[in-house]
Structure 1
């Protein structure tokens, strides 16, 4: 059975946990206690996801993904490739839009309270800031929906089709 490399699998699961946790923090931050420092953690996790995505892209260039099963219909292969392309787009655009949005604020941007992260030279009212704010929220909800589709497809392959698609990542 073709499998992803150990490093690719570890990176996938680490990022999956970070992304799902961060989407939950971002979507549910208003319901959480203010003294939990939810938004600083959300921003730090987002920056971490952005950096790990660059690592992941670099790794993927040198280590292509295993082939999908030959018996898989062409439409399903196309859907899998499109889903993964959207994941990579979201892994870059969602944290980047958050960084742009945060850069227009007055509070410092730091990584887990360990060091400051430079801000972009933008201010509130700039078109890019407004676009980033709207895009960040819309993409966050779209990403959450896509994750549910991804999990559903993986479980379908494992439990219904009983093929090796999910096992490649375990």
Structure 2
């Protein structure tokens, strides 16, 4: 079996690359939100939230397709709560950028990322029924995602220390 694909013992190189790339991009996303105006990091991360969000959305779709194609080979979940936690993480990683796209479209403004027009804008009134719920939920669900990510990290280290199966090693590749 190729080391690119998942196995019952560990995740393959593609799954690990997608996981860690998304982890790095999520850290970047949260920096775009928490770095105060005028901070030296603002010159690095400022103005990248939408582009990085789009990249994350593309990666999560790729990751979902990859996970489905490897579903019979992947390491088993440790428990039902672990499985539900992962489903919640995936669900939020899909829903949050979708809400942002809905809000962007409803605003009538064009959406450009990486120098490309992803959605053209439109003239006329904003579509409030698209903007209001997305504005309410996008940020709040983003913070919920952060809480779940922190829980995900804590549980990986707890399982590592308590002598359970070393789930972190499955994603590191050892």
Question: What TM-score do the two structures reach when normalised by structure 2?
Answer: 0.81
CA RMSD after TM alignment: 2.5
Which of 13, 32, 42 is equivalent to 2:20?
13
CA contact (8 A) 2:106 2:130 kept: no
Q: 1:9 to 1:109 in 2, by over 3 A?
A: same
Bigger Cα displacement from structure 2, 49-58 vs 119-128:
119-128
CA contact (8 A) 1:157 1:165 kept: yes
Question: Match of 1:135?
Answer: 137
Question: Match of 2:67?
Answer: 60
Instruction: Tell me how far apart the structure 2 counterparts of residues 32 and 62 of structure 1 sit (CA, whole Å).
Output: 43
Unaligned runs of 5+ in 2: 1-7
Q: 1:120 to 1:5 in 2, by over 3 A?
A: farther
Q: Which has the higher helix share?
A: 1
Instruction: Tell me how far apart the structure 1 counterparts of residues 125 and 150 of structure 2 sit (CA, whole Å).
Output: 35
Structure 1's consecutive aligned runs of 4 or more residues displaced over 4 angstroms after TM superposition are 119-123
Which of 35, 43, 48 is equivalent to 1:41?
48
Shift of 1:98: 1.3
Higher relative contact order (CA 8 A, sep 6+): 1
CA contact (8 A) 2:16 2:171 kept: yes
Unaligned runs of 5+ in 1: none
Question: What TM-score do the two structures reach when normalised by structure 1?
Answer: 0.82
1:96-115 matches, within 5 Å, as 96-105=98-107, 107-112=109-114, 114-115=115-116
Corresponding residue pairs, total: 160
CA contact (8 A) 1:102 1:109 kept: yes
